[in-house]
Structure 1
Amino acid sequence: MNNFELEVLLNTFLKPQEIKDYCLNGMQLEGKTTVQKIVTGVTACQALIEVAIEDKADAILVHHGYFWRGKFEALKGMKYRRIKALIENNINLYAYHLPLDIHPEIGNNVQLARRLGIELMGGLEDGNANSLAVWGELPRAMPPNAFSMHIDHCLSRSPLHIVNDSVSSIKRVGLCTGKGQDYIDLAANKLLDAFISGEVSEYTTFSAREQGIHYFGAGHHATERYGVKALGEWLADNYGFNVSFIDIDNPV
């Protein structure tokens, strides 16, 4: 497929024009005209680029690309080395941020919920059809420690668990992958039992302790592995692309 036609295909499926984002969604760097072999990953780090070069990939498709609004950097150092490697090897770079988080079929939130066995019920942002945070229910209530072990088992990563002793079982759960810890207040207002995100802030502890909710920080990378992987599988299944998902370890 032509590289610009692939961008149109991805834009049609992910609809970046429908959500306000702070990064450039779509093709971030133009490479070879024809794309057949694609490497997918969470972040366009140097290690992922090196795998793509070794695999002779035509394109890299990621959740975290390079160009973020309000962040203007000279092309030197780490950023120069990354872009230089892509240009020298004629590799296209596509990146989708928030559109990949919220997509109702292959998005990070949906994929995480499925992996944890949570049936999604709706968004936490009332009146926003593109709510970045969602909530749902487990098929049966679980003790908090058991739910923590469940997350560990499903994601192969032990979560940071901020305990609230006033909540003895967990059934109604909110979640927002990546850097979504600020939505804990909306989850508490909805009287949910727990909230899951990737990262944690200093104030997250007190929000959980004082508002009757458990918080699970399960890792930015760990919670956002599954959307881009599912997107690559969608491209392979429906359009015949040769797609490889590469999980570059990141403990954060």
Structure 2
Amino acid sequence: MQRKQFTQLLNDILKPDSIADFCPNGLQVEGASEVKKIVTGVTASQALIDAAITENADTILVHHGYFWKGESQPITGMKKRRIAALLNNDINLYGYHLPLDIHPEIGNNAQLAKLLDIEFTAGLESGPNSVPVKGRLKTPLSGEEFADKITQVLNRAPLTSLVRKEKIDTIAWCTGGGQGYIDLAAAQGIDAYLTGEASEQTIHSSREQGIDFFAAGHHATERYGIKALGELLAEQHGFDVTFIDIDNPV
């Protein structure tokens, strides 16, 4: 498929114009004019680029790409080496951030809910494109039981603040660095909040507002949207797609 058609296909799936973001969504670095071999991954790190070169990929598709608001603009050092590797090997780089988080089927939030047996009910914020969402556990669990489930499913033990004696029924969640939404979840009387990261003040919010908290890892909670997108492209459009998981403990 020609690059222009592929870009339109991705935009039709993810609808990046529907939400304001902190980075450009879509084609970020232009490479080969035809898309044949795709590598997907969470972040466009040097390790992922090197793996894509080994795979003879012409396109890399990630959740965390480049050119974030507020980042240093000069293309030097690490940024220069990454972009040079893409250009020297004629590799396209596509990044989709919030549009991949919020997609109702293949998005990070949707995929994490599927893995952890959570039923979606609504957005946590008002409006049609809430980044954090809320729902219920299909089977209510104690905080300890839910932490064990996260460990088994994501293959990493979450950081927890378990302050309630009752089982968790209602839960809100946001993959990645969504710890700031815990206060919104607590204000709505939700039993527990799940995200990727924690800040120092997050634990105080949990303790003082009586809401169980789970930080299961930014990378660990966001592996599944980009993987699902690649699987969709392979199954429905015939692309050769390889998901490469570059481990990250954060």
Correspondence for 1:140: 139
> Which range moves more in the overlay, 115-124 or 67-76?
67-76
Correspondence for 1:210: 208
Correspondence for 1:88: 88
Retained in 2: the 8 A contact 1:102–1:108?
A: yes
Correspondence for 2:167: 169
Find the residue that maps to 1:111 and give its secondary structure: helix
Correspondence for 1:38: 38
Q: How far is the alpha carbon of 1:12 from its aligned partner?
A: 1.1
RMSD over aligned CA atoms reads 0.8
Distance 2:179 2:158 in 1: 13
* Paired residues, number: 250
Distance 1:86 1:170 in 2: 46
Distance 1:237 1:61 in 2: 16
Gaps of 5+ in 2: none
Distance 1:149 1:224 in 2: 19
Distance 1:167 1:23 in 2: 41
TM value normalised by structure 2: 0.98
Q: Which AA in structure 2 matches 1:20?
A: A
Distance 2:165 2:175 in 1: 23
Gaps of 5+ in 1: none
Find the residue that maps to 2:62 and give its secondary structure: strand
Q: How far is the alpha carbon of 1:118 from its aligned partner?
A: 0.2
Runs of 4+ in 1 over 6 A off after TM superposition: none
Q: Which AA in structure 1 matches 2:114?
A: R
> Any residues of structure 2 matched to 1:58-97 within 5 Å, and which?
58-97=58-97
TM value normalised by structure 1: 0.97
Find the residue that maps to 2:31 and give its secondary structure: coil
Distance 1:139 1:69 in 2: 38
Match of 2:231 among 230, 233, 242: 233
1:97-147 deviation per Cα after TM superposition (whole angstroms, max 9, x unaligned): 000000011000000000000010011002x11000001111221111111
2:21 is the counterpart of 1:25: no
Find the residue that maps to 2:144 and give its secondary structure: helix
Find the residue that maps to 2:160 and give its secondary structure: strand
Correspondence for 1:113: 113
